[in-house]
Amino acid sequence: MTALNQSPGSTGTTGTVDAAARPSNGRTLTGSLGVTAIVFMVVAAASPLTVVGGAAPLGILLGNGVGYPAMFAISAVVLLLFSVGLATMAKHVPKPGAFFTFVGYGLGRPMGLATAYLALLTYTTIQVAVYGYMGYVLQVTFTGLGGPDLPWYLYALAVIGLVGVLGYRHIELSSKVLGVLLVGEILIVLALVVAVVASGGPEGLSLAPFEPANIVSGAPGVGLMFAIAAFIGFEATAIFRDEAKNPSRTIPIATYVAVIGIGVFYTIASWGIVMAWGPSGVVDAAAADPGAMVIITTLNYLGPIGEVVINVLLITSMFACVLSFHNVITRYQHSMSTAGVLPRRLGDVHHRHLSPHTSSIVQTATAVAFTGAFALLGLDPVLAVFTWFSGVATLAIAILMAITSVAVIVYFTRKNRGAASVWHTVIAPALGLAGLVASAIIITAYFPMLVGDVDAEGIPVFGVLSLSLLAFIALVPVAGYVQALVLRARDPQAYERITDAIGG
């Protein structure tokens, strides 16, 4: 089976091919996405307003209080170092599988396939988590407006259907929808920050969030955990390689722009929230009502109109998030189908929309099945669905990035030495790896708190729920690794096709 992005006219190892020149063979994705469109999609997946309205108050309350904004800056530095290796691999590996492709090239086919399954777990769990939270928000919103009191899962299913329709069509339609929604999110948050700065805040403007004493106060590990979770999605730029104008240039630039843009935005936005309440009052404000903190802050500084706008944009922010992750998951499934490890039909491309339409339908059905199961089990959409699965995705993404960093170092030191500078191939990836390993350890230590496994005194303990979810994170990639070994023993030709698609 030919590689997904291996098309006539590619040159060298970078595979730079103009999108319009790529042939359509019924399984190859094509497009002309530029840097802006790709950045919109991956930043939308990070869901800026959902982070500012949901993660930031929790990071302030449960993490390091006034010093929480600094956690975004620290996370951005770690992930920027990771991005150096990711972007360098994107230039030298002309295939769109992102994590599993890069790991396959660096650490071999079995590890590549294990990583592919872990990536699917990551993006699926974060998507269903947001579906649960969004269903709850829509239920509360429409009930508050006098509408019928329908269960949260009906709203979630309606959103899944709409996302499925957009995901079935050409990727550029999704990018336009995401672009409009993302601009609205950014503008309302920046308007809030400007209003806070103009007023001076109750205690004046300061750099208190970045003072060392405040950064290490409280539980900085929890703060770091929430901050890194807020970046999930930026790393998916490489998955859109086949649909980019000039992949070898567009993908690296989009990666850097995404992580830097997200880091700067979150840091400024969370600093604005701290200033809006003052360093001495922000923790109490978060404790009073963390879920409504950003809405109350907006009401105080932008008035009732601002409150309505941010309520609406909070919903659209979550919609943009699930739509973006839908696109990422469908393309992971498409790449894995091309590699021969998922059913061949998942690799089909629609003749008119040029989208992985079969993969989109399967992904939509998966989301429906999960939501239906949650409804039958009577799980709380926020305290169970959103919290548990966000915790799974947070730990899984840190592990994914750490493994990818190792793969980058191995690939350029053992298999493609001298292809790029030592900074791009060893030093930056190694520094990023150190930060990611530390983050994974911290997240694991506090994982019980994420899923509610605490004792009577509120101290996290590893109970049945947290251990079960951790075991799930471990077993999913093991399944992929075993599948690769089985293919090598039973079907060498299929194993070789994996080699063609993901390297190794």
Residue 350: which region, alpha, beta or left (left: phi > 0; alpha: psi -120 to 50)?
Answer: beta
CATH code for the structural domain at 28-502: 1.20.1740.10
pLDDT for the residue numbered 391: 80
> CB of 333 within 8 A of CB of 141?
no
Mean pLDDT in each 10-residue stretch from start to end of the chain (504 residues)?
A: 31 35 43 66 74 85 90 93 87 68 87 89 89 87 85 94 78 62 85 95 94 89 83 71 64 84 93 95 89 87 91 84 82 75 71 69 91 93 82 88 94 83 93 93 82 73 89 93 90 71 46
Query: For the whole model, what pTM was predicted?
Result: 0.79
CA angle, 272 as apex, 269 and 276 as ends, to 5°?
145
Tell me the domain boundaries of the chain.
28-502
Q: Running DSSP on this structure, what letter comes out for residue 19?
A: G
- Residue whose C-alpha is closest to residue 381's, from 124, 151, 47: 151
Whole-angstrom Cα distance, residue 42 to residue 44? Answer: 5
pLDDT for the residue numbered 431: 96
pLDDT for the residue numbered 213: 93
How far apart, in Å, are the Cα atoms of 181 and each of 33, 154, 369? 18, 23, 27
pLDDT for the residue numbered 503: 45
pLDDT for the residue numbered 11: 33
Residue 162 CB neighbours (<10 A): 12
9-23 b/e (C-beta count within 10 Å ≥ 16 → b):
ebeeebbbbebeebe
CA torsion through residues 320, 323, 326, 330, sign: negative
